[in-house]
Amino acid sequence: MFELLQIDSQTKARLGKLTTAHGVVDTPVFMPVGTQASVKALDPRELLEMGTQIILGNTYHLNIRPGLDILRAAGGLHRFMNWEKPILTDSGGFQVFSLAKIRKIKPHGVEFRSHLDGSPLFLGPKEAMEIQRVLGSDIAMVFDECPPHDAPAREQKLAVERTIRWARECREQPRVDGQLVFGIVQGGSNAALREECARALVAMDFDGYAIGGVSVGEPEAEMLKAIEITEPFLPANQARYAMGLGTPAQMIELIARGVDMFDCVLPTRVARNGTAFTRRGAFGLKGGAYKADFRPIDETCDCFACKHFTRAYLRHLLNVGEILGLRMVSVHNSHLFLKIMADVRAAIAAGTFAAFYRDFIADYVPSQRVLSARQAEIER
């Protein structure tokens, strides 16, 4: 259940509470991505210490490894990974349409081959919901079709038709007690298709609604447009989730447009390449400019990495391949994303979000290296 607590007077930013079987989530919220039942390079204690409220798991990957028999025997995903707070699981639709090089769309799902060993697989609404039922996630996502952003108009239309049909099939499937199910709006940057898809899903009365097909390689302006043309057709009294987004600035932009929930692999993925986020943008720590830089990654940050290590030391670790380096940058990036969301919630509550939004965007310098959150994504 979602409770809308407050709307900013100058923007569409919203303060809310999402009640799930494993606890209450304050929104706006960032969800670290735990694709393989683990947020890469971080342990549950660290996630809790930095204020993580909910994490995301991946239906496609967990179904392949370790498989449903192991997850069923373990008692579900929460017990398997020792995480007591809420978990959202995606349906696997994005992976089927992005990772599978050979696939055949059928009326009730997709035949494809595993990206690992080429073995034949089938995933559709029934299968996706069964997997998520075994996982025992607090929020299950419907199985949808996510075509490329530059797909022809006819392909986008067919994808919307399948998404609506498959959402209805997902709605009919059994679920574990207390499990919420979110619909996913597709339609690319076509306003009419987005409206058609949103209206059809809202009529099915899901527990929340996601905006899919964004941050899949399209220009940022097109991504913002897709959000803007979808948001008016989503219920005000239910959670809104922009899938696979994004950089700190992108999340702030979308919060101002009425979005409540976000997930993204960027904090840990780019950390493995030595890229650190700050409130002013991202930079690469491996560069020679930081060889004798004994400041923390971010002098305004109070994460474990910034309180204990310098840029020079972390640069050294990254360049010699020591695991501690990528772990500490992952800690910093994840902490930063979560802290920004906490600051956003405080600003909305105080009635100062408009100024926060203006100042944040003015100070943030985008990096072309990290703008597309899902374009090269293989973690989800």
Q: What is the dihedral of CA 29, 35, 41, 45, to 10 degrees?
A: 60
Pairing of strands 103-106, 109-113: antiparallel
Angle between helices 191-203 and 153-172 (to 10 degrees): 10
279 by DSSP, 3-state: which? coil
Distances (CA, A) of 337 to 83, 175, 301, 333: 20, 31, 11, 6
Residue 15 sits at the vertex; the CA angle it makes with 49 and 139, to the nearest 5 degrees, is: 65
Query: Is 263 a catalytic site residue?
Result: yes
Contact 37, 267 (CB under 8 A): no
Catalytic annotation, pick one of 8, 90, 138, 298: 90
Instruction: Extract the tokens encoding 251.
Output: 């999340």
Locate all alpha helices (DSSP H) within the chain, ordered by sequence: 44-49, 59-64, 68-74, 77-81, 93-99, 125-135, 153-172, 191-203, 220-230, 248-255, 266-269, 304-308, 311-320, 323-350, 353-363
Catalytic annotation, pick one of 8, 138, 144, 263: 263
Known catalytic residues are 90, 263
